[in-house]
Amino acid sequence: MVQRGGAWRIEAPCDEQGSGPGPGTPYEGSGIPYDRTSSGPAVRPSPKDSARPDDRADGRTHGRRGGRPEGRPHDQSDSRPHVRSEDVRSPGTGSDDGGTTDARPPGAGPGHVRPPEPGPAESRRSSYARAFLRALPALLIGLGVCCGRLTPSVFPAVPLFTAAPLVAAPLHSLRATVVTGTAALAAVLAVHLGLGASGAATEAVTTAAAAVPAVLINVLVRRNDARLASARRIAEAAQRAVLPEPPARIGGLRIAARYEAAQADAYIGGDLYAVQDSPHGVRLVVGDVRGKGTGAVAAVAVVIGAFREAAEQEATLEAVARRLERALSREGIRRDGPDSDEEFTTAVLAEIPHGEEGVVRIVDRGHPAPLLLLPDGTLRELEAREPALPLGMGDLAPGPDGAEKWDFPPGSTLLFFTDGVSEARDARGEFYDPARRLAGRVLPTPGAVLAAVTEDVARHTGGQATDDMALLAVRRSEHR
């Protein structure tokens, strides 16, 4: 884990060719080098950051892109021209007022969870392959009839007849599998009766012997399909419970959220977001839990549950961060596993006060800095002036959290995202830079902002994203 622009990033050590994690990497999958002389992870800054000569005189470092001071407008010399909102919407998407831009069919799962969709060429290839496989049993029977009638009897066609029901078993229904086996058996008898050749009984028995297990295979495949569908429904329900879609409007704020899974049919991951209206203002959190699988999902549930309770009760955003820290510590003690001491969560917390217009307070705990998109296309990166360690590593921090206040004028949009966006790579290994890609663009709704980012990341990676992405956009209306 290295520090990059105020955020702690997970970067796996490379092998000798620099292509990926090397063998025997400690904490494989997390990319955190382990200091064998101590009891915890060795967290050290990136060599690029430590070698920069442009540190400020007051001890604060510049942002990670070209040493630009925090809060200053992004350089727009290479930015894109202004575009209308319809230029970034996907075909068939609905209005952004509802918080998301996804039009989903019934039963497709939560609207803010979108597994990656294949491109047109890939979809056509998949359709052709499926059509060929479904027609293959009939083709095998037809080929067997031709071989049986046109070739000498020393070249039996029975392998083609026996293969037909076995191929149909995982691809067709039980009825279609039985029909295929019956048709294969009838074809064997027709070939031999027409030619008057011997061996008809032997080949008929062989074909029937293949058709019976084909039926059993079909029954097992359909039973497993039903179990998989049930597991998918449970995963969708768990996703909606752990990561519910936030309201589209809270007061003078419009909110949109989006979760992009890196793998198809994947609904649960370690990225998280939550929005909570409280007596102290609208509070939100966006984070990324170390690890994957059920352990990461459990940590996500802990963080979101603690956040919703703390957002209502705590008077300051710093106190909310401390509550999350304690909740993760309790979870680590409860699990008491070999990696329980190394669990952490990068997160950024924000508070938009009710009684103080035009400002937002932010506590960044090792997470990618949010972006502020102004109405005229100017973009600012709200990088923390005092970088902090992720949640779960508070014991190593030099001091308490400090919330930083930033301008959040009417008509502006705050964009929060996880490292699945900022660390998405193209074919050359270059990281995606959301600040550079969004600078100069005028996107009037939070849903349009999220659509623009996710589609641009898909183009950057060629549809080969390797990490989940969670995005949250909050727009302050010009008029309540």
User: What confidence tier does 118 reach under pLDDT thresholds 50, 70, 90?
Assistant: low
Contact by Cβ (8 Å): 166, 141: no
Share of the chain above pLDDT 70, in %: 67
Q: What are the respective helix, strand and coil percentages of the chain, to the nearest 5?
A: 40, 15, 45
Q: What pLDDT does 212 receive?
A: 92
Confidence of residue 407 (pLDDT cuts 50, 70, 90): very high
Largest CA distance in the chain: 100
Confidence band (pLDDT; 50, 70, 90) for 267? Answer: low
Q: Where is pLDDT greater, at 127 or 382?
A: 382
Between CA 61 and CA 166 the distance in angstroms is 66
Tokens for 63? 């942002």
Between these two residues, 116 and 183, which has the higher pLDDT value? 183
Give the pLDDT band of residue 449 (cuts 50, 70, 90): very high
What pLDDT is recorded for position 106?
38
For the cut 90, the answer to whether the pLDDT of residue 351 exceeds it is yes
Tell me how crowded residue 383 is: count the other CB atoms within 10 A of its CB: 26
| Exposure class string for 126-139: b at 16+ Cβ within 10 A, else e | eeeeeeeeeeebee
β-bridge partners, 4: 7
| pLDDT of amino acid 479 | 65
* SS3 at position 390: coil
pTM of the model: 0.60
pLDDT of 140 above 60:
yes
Q: Does residue 97 have a pLDDT over 80? A: no
Summary mean pLDDT of the chain: 75
Angle at 115 between CA 110 and CA 118, to 5 degrees: 140
For residue 285, pLDDT over 90 is answered with yes
Average pLDDT estimate for 135-149 = 89
Mean pLDDT of 459-473: 86
Can you give the pLDDT at residue 196? 56
CB 334 within 8 A of CB 413: no
* pLDDT value, residue 266: 56
Q: pLDDT grade, residue 409 (50/70/90)?
A: very high
The residue with greater pLDDT, 112 or 433, is 433
Least confidently predicted of 102-106, 149-153, 297-301, 458-462: 102-106
Higher pLDDT, 196 or 288: 288
Q: How confident is the model at residue 14 (pLDDT cuts 50, 70, 90)?
A: very low
Q: What is the mean pLDDT of residues 432-456?
A: 92
Q: What pLDDT, in 10s, does the model give residues 34-83?
A: 343 333 444 434 433 444 434 443 444 433 433 344 444 444 434 333 33
The per-residue pLDDT for range 173-225, each reduced to its tens digit, is: 999 999 999 999 998 888 877 555 566 788 888 899 999 999 999 999 999 99
What digits encode the pLDDT tens for the residues 387-398? 788 888 877 766
Q: What per-residue confidence (pLDDT) applies to 293?
A: 63
Task: Decide if pLDDT at 1 tops 80.
Answer: no
Chain-centre distance of CA 265, in angstroms?
Answer: 10
Tell me which of 369 and 241 has the higher pLDDT: 369
Q: If you average pLDDT over residues 309-326, what whole number do you get?
A: 92
Query: pLDDT value at position 315?
Result: 92
Higher pLDDT, 104 or 153: 153
Give the span between the Cα atoms of 364 and 345, in whole angstroms.
Answer: 11
